[in-house]
Structure 1
Amino acid sequence: MTKAVRLYQGAFGRASLLDSDHDLVTHAHPQCHVLVKAGGADASYTVRGRTVRLTSDSLVLVNAWEPHAKLQPLPGERTVVLVLCMEPAWLAEHDPLLSGSGMPDFFPAAQVAQPLSLRRLVDRLIMEVLGAAPTGLPNRAVEAALSDFMLAVTHLFALRRNWIDTYRIKMGNRPDARIARAIRYIGDHLDQAITCEELASMHSLSRQHFFSLFRQCTSMSPILYMNTLRMESAFKSLVECSTSVNALADNLGFSEPHHFTRFFRRNLGIPPSQYRRGVSLLA
């Protein structure tokens, strides 16, 4: 069972302090993110097709849209993990050389050692997060600690580019026009249960060819891409709207509310109702 110790959401992205003894299915986020061990046993993740370890001396770094999963721990092992998802717009606003944070090579390494200077920021961040009230008014000390840590991590381990180089690379990596249309269609129809066969048929492709082309352009399957957008929509709606979880499940194309709850739990570790009750907004 996973327990949400603290949950934060804001312009910077999301921060989740989770106490977990479970695995997580392969999933992705539109934001680059950092995994920090805050306590308990070491944990293992799959990133870029290999297993990496999250320890007191190392961080796990995951690029935007990069599929990854948390592996099943040994029986009885629990890990407290701080998951920081950083919005590209927030990073670019603080440092223009971080404008490429949404690109697949922003973090060249998936596992990095923590220098002592960063460990001090981690200790300060955990102290501020644990000392804050679980809900209520935004905590400026938490916000400042999050900001300092995230910028320090990106300055130490990220590939920094100016916006002109970022733009040129993005223009050179534009996906196949058929996949671009499929991506737009998925984003516009999250309330429908779309299949790969339907998407392939819309673009006069066989299922196998469409699947291969989509993975080639996005590094993920169409279903994983769709699930990523559904999770992002759920995060936003759970905080900004009063829509019930049952209605939200219907809006995201789930035939039954418990299917949505299971989907959310398998991606984050906790149910959507717990996320809504526990999340605090930061400016």
Structure 2
Amino acid sequence: MSNALRVAKGPFGRVALLDMDRPLVRHAHPHCHVLLKVEGADTQFSVRDRIVPLRDDSAVLINAWEPHAYAHYPGQPATIILALYIEPTWLQSFRPNWRASGGPDFFADSVGGTTPKITRLTRELAEAMVQEPGNAATHELLLADLMIAVIERFTPWQEMLPSLRLRALGSGVDPRIRRAVDLIRLSPGEVTDMDSLARDAGLSRAHFFRLFETTLNVSPRVYLNVVRLEQAVLSIVDGKESFHCISERLGFSAPAHFSRFFHDHAGSTPTAFRAASGLTSRNFETPR
């Protein structure tokens, strides 16, 4: 069964070391997302409608809000994957225009050949997370070196401009779509019916779906699942709320349904994810 071996969370976003032997459903993340093989079998992901390889010499590169899935084939051996979910504001601290990593075109291609330096840093970060799970400072330094190497390798970063889509979302979004987005973000557990969401936005179902996906690059259902997953991750890592309470708050009819959803989207059971993050996430808590 696929599970998280280690999870680190901080101002950079999060890093998960995943032992994967089952597929993930089509989903998205609000982050710059990079997948790197650590050990095990060569494998593959579906990014939009294209199958791309994840091997010792390749990386899978996924833009923010870009739909993708883990395309693990029946009988295929497991693969340990280093999954990076990186916040644009953290990358901006290295280069101002790296905030463009939150846009839809940061990576021009969804796969690229790695360098020996990227391979070495991937292994060093994975080993540090396993051997020194409480050493948050080392993890972040290694991650910074790795992301700099990845961006310099796979993006025309010197030419990057802030995303027009992101700037449009700041002011020019259709107010009906903004209303739907606000409903999802404020109370994802109360949004269970896309038809009702379309009516609340004052649009027909077809027009609502078309306008929503044109604006945000994902369907309303995928957007809802992204918000549910990100809120679940925060609550699971925080460790203060039971899985039953998280499940109920996010609109699942039973904890088993929540557990299945989380495993299908994050590649780990909630229990294993909490255990994997417990040794690292506390290092980033805001002092009270």
Q: TM-score, length-normalised on structure 1?
A: 0.91
The 5 A counterparts of 1:1-283 are 1-133=1-133, 137-160=134-157, 165-166=161-162, 170-172=166-168, 174-279=172-277, 280-281=280-281, 282-283=283-284
- CA shift at 1:26, angstroms? 0.6
- CA shift at 1:125, angstroms? 2.3
Q: 1:156 to 1:264 in 2, by over 3 A?
A: same
For residues 140-168 of structure 1, the C-alpha deviation after alignment (integer angstroms, 9 at most, x for no partner) is 322221121012212222343789x4165
Q: 1:162 to 1:234 in 2, by over 3 A?
A: farther
Q: 1:211 to 1:2 in 2, by over 3 A?
A: same
- CA shift at 1:76, angstroms? 4.3
Q: 1 or 2, which has the higher helix percentage?
A: 2
Distance 1:245 1:107 in 2: 35
Give, as a single letter, the amino acid of the residue that structure 2 aligns with 1:142: H
User: 1:42–1:54: 8 Å Cα contact kept in structure 2?
Assistant: yes
- CA shift at 1:205, angstroms? 1.9
How many residues are paired up? 279
Q: 1:182 to 1:161 in 2, by over 3 A?
A: farther
User: 1:105–1:159: 8 Å Cα contact kept in structure 2?
Assistant: no
User: 2:97–2:162: 8 Å Cα contact kept in structure 1?
Assistant: no
Identify unmatched segments of 5+ residues in structure 2. Answer: none
- CA shift at 1:139, angstroms? 3.7
Give, as a single letter, the amino acid of the residue that structure 2 aligns with 1:259: H
Distance 1:150 1:226 in 2: 28
User: 2:3–2:269: 8 Å Cα contact kept in structure 1?
Assistant: no
Give, as a single letter, the amino acid of the residue that structure 2 aligns with 1:212: R
For residues 229-275 of structure 1, the C-alpha deviation after alignment (integer angstroms, 9 at most, x for no partner) is 11111111122251111011111111211111110011112111221
- CA shift at 1:221, angstroms? 1.3
Distance 1:241 1:217 in 2: 35
Kindly, what percent of the aligned residue pairs are identical?
A: 37
Higher mean Cα deviation, 238-247 or 61-70?
238-247
Distance 1:97 1:162 in 2: 9
CA RMSD of aligned residues (A): 2.0
Q: 1:167 to 1:6 in 2, by over 3 A?
A: closer
User: 1:99–1:162: 8 Å Cα contact kept in structure 2?
Assistant: no
Identify unmatched segments of 5+ residues in structure 1. Answer: none
Give, as a single letter, the amino acid of the residue that structure 1 aligns with 2:173: P
Q: 1:167 to 1:130 in 2, by over 3 A?
A: closer
Q: TM-score, length-normalised on structure 2?
A: 0.90
Distance 2:76 2:49 in 1: 26
User: 1:38–1:81: 8 Å Cα contact kept in structure 2?
Assistant: yes
